[in-house]
Amino acid sequence: MSDAHTLSADDFSPLERRLILFTMSSCTMLYALTLTIVSVALPQLQGALGATPDQVSWVVTLNVVATGVATPATGWVVARFGQRRVLIWSIAGFTVATMLCASATSLGPLLFYRIAQGVFGAPLVPLAQAIIVGVYPADKRAGAQSVFGMAVVIGPAIAPTIGGYLAEEYNWRWVFLLVLPLCVVSMIGVLAFIRDFTRPKPVRLDWTGFLALSIAITCLQLMMDRGERQDWFESSEIIMVTTAMVLGFYVFVVHTLTHATPFISPTLFLDRNFTIGLFLVFVYGTLNVTPTVLLPPMLQSLQGYPDSMIGALLASRGGGMVFGFLAAARIGRLDPRIGLSLGLAIVAFSGWRMTHFGLDATAFEIAWVGALQGFGCGVMWVPLSIVTFATLDPARLPEASSLFHLLRNFGSSIFISLSVMTIVRTGKVNYAELTENVSPFNESLAFGNVTGLWNTESLGGLAAISREIGRQASMIGYSNAFLVYTLVCLLAAPFLLFVRIRKR
């Protein structure tokens, strides 16, 4: 999917490498910002656009799915048009889509513009990583990846605080307008410093494989998003979507194994490190993004936190990631499996602590758990990138990097939907179980001077009880989602035993 390299790491001076590293960091930060900033505004978006909790989560999941669907085509687009031109058009399209998001007046158009953001933002992350790997020699890549990762999380660490304040003082539109200055900086950097590593060459895209994979991923996401609302396979819509998903995956697998030049070459999976890395980055996607989507609605709807406070609490997680990347630069001198094991252990512990969150959880407790979780994710990223590409042919980096980030985005979108489904489903079950205790025969409700508004003798009293039971049931749902989060983290640990450490 790519041509021979026309430039090598030796063709760049140290200053050029640093300028390219800064430019690629700012490009990648564009996509990262749209996740963390929008998460702060999810509660406000739900009220302003009249959406349900599962519908407002589409603002994040559809963006991630669009990125995941478009990401595998990055190798073909780059081979056909060149890295520089693809970056320019991606940033331009992303900028326009961001402006349109800020102007949306209802949920439908906003979701469409978020999909456009995802499509145009899809090439930014894999291209940035491939360019950094290309301009830095092998002995300096770990340090470059650490600086790249740290720079990428600094923006998302600070942005939630600023975005939360602007959303509270003005409205949710400012969380999108805040990204526009960085779009301008990224465009200037690409125009000034980026050159093509490969000569653009007309190549054929395996449209059958691409469309089959796109349909399968999209249908799987729709099934996860709408299954609970539509009562799963009692709905003809879910049956049709599931059928299309199965057919899409079937066509993709059969076509990939039988076609001479498939969309994703199956020979990539012969590299054991790369295959294990794909699984681990899928898990990483579930660990990294999901809490930023679940916490804002929980904090505002159940505990009444304002947007500015929610932004500050999310920023603590970003701050932890900054320190995690700094630590990864030191740990990178050791066996990468040490960094991965340490990161998984820290994230699993933070997830276990989140299962203990209650309606009386303090801001300090939420902040330090979030910072610890961010630290673990930061520690994991650099060794995960090193392990995945350590034994891979450099000529296959663009295609491999696209698949790597496809699995990361796919993990994020699927697990967000699974978590929302867990919250809604178990919340309903616990609400039904808790309401069984509300009756005139419950002696606990007989003491009006203790229960206050809670009584079974008036509509107002019953409504007050219903609201409180709803809060308690929802909190149990969030605890269950955090438990699933912890279990996924722990189940990934044994796969580290299959990682092979050797020099290329």
CATH classification of the domain holding 60: 1.20.1250.20
In a domain, 59, yes or no: yes
Pair (73, 189) in one structural domain: yes
Residues 83 and 128 in one domain: yes
Interior/surface letters 174-200, b for 16+ CB within 10 angstroms, e for the rest: bbbbbbeebbebbbebbeebbebbbeb
Q: CA dihedral defined by 91, 93, 99, 102, rounded to 10 degrees?
A: -100
DSSP class of residue 11 equals G
Residue 19 in domain: yes
Q: Do the domain assignments include residue 469?
A: no
336-359 in b/e burial notation, b at 16+ Cβ within 10 A? beebbbbbbebbbbbbbbbeebee
Q: Clarify whether residues 195 and 214 are in a common domain.
A: no
Q: Which of 247, 262, 277 is the last residue of a domain?
A: 262
Distance in angstroms (rounded) separating the CA atoms of residues 43 and 175: 13
Domain total of the chain: 2
Q: Is residue 101 part of a domain?
A: yes
Structure tokens at 493: 């640990």
Are 193 and 214 members of one domain? no
Residue 457 lies in a domain: no
**Same domain membership, residue 251 and residue 131:** no
**Is 86 among the domain residues?**
yes
End-to-end CA, the chain: 22
Last residue of a domain, one of 216, 233, 262: 262
- Confirm whether 461 is domain-assigned: no
Q: Please give the backbone phi and psi of residue 327, each rounded to the nearest 5 degrees, phi first.
A: -65, -35
Instruction: Identify whether residues 201 and 212 lie together within a single domain.
Output: no
> Are 135 and 37 in the same domain?
yes
Query: How many percent of the chain have pLDDT more than 70?
Result: 85
Confidence at residue 352, expressed as pLDDT on a 0 to 100 scale:
92
Backbone angles phi, psi at 75, to 5 degrees: -60, -45
Look up residue 238 and give its two tokens: 């879910």
371 with 355, same domain: the answer is: yes
- Helix 124-135 to helix 14-48 angle (10° resolution) is 160
Regarding whether 149 and 289 lie in a shared domain, the answer is yes
Assigned domain for 191 exists = yes
Query: Can you give the pLDDT at residue 153?
Result: 64
Q: Tell me how far CA of residue 164 lies from CA of 31, 60, 80, 308, in angstroms.
A: 18, 17, 41, 4
Containing structural domain, residue 254: 206-262
268 and 332 fall within a common domain: yes
Computed over every residue of the chain, the mean pLDDT equals 79
| Domain stop point among 225, 241, 262 | 262
For residue 4, what is the DSSP state?
-
pLDDT digit string, tens, across residues 64-118: 778 777 877 777 787 777 778 888 898 999 999 988 988 888 888 888 888 888 8
Q: Which amino acid is at 288?
A: N
- pTM of the predicted model, to two decimals? 0.74
Q: Are residues 181 and 253 in the same domain?
A: no
Q: Are residues 314 and 393 in the same domain?
A: yes
- Residues 6+ positions from 190 with CB-CB distance below 8 Å: 23, 27, 84, 87, 88, 91
* 3-state SS assignment for residue 26: helix
pLDDT tens digit string along 268-324? 778 788 888 888 888 888 888 788 778 888 887 777 788 778 877 877 887 888 788
pLDDT band at 472; cut points 50, 70, 90: confident
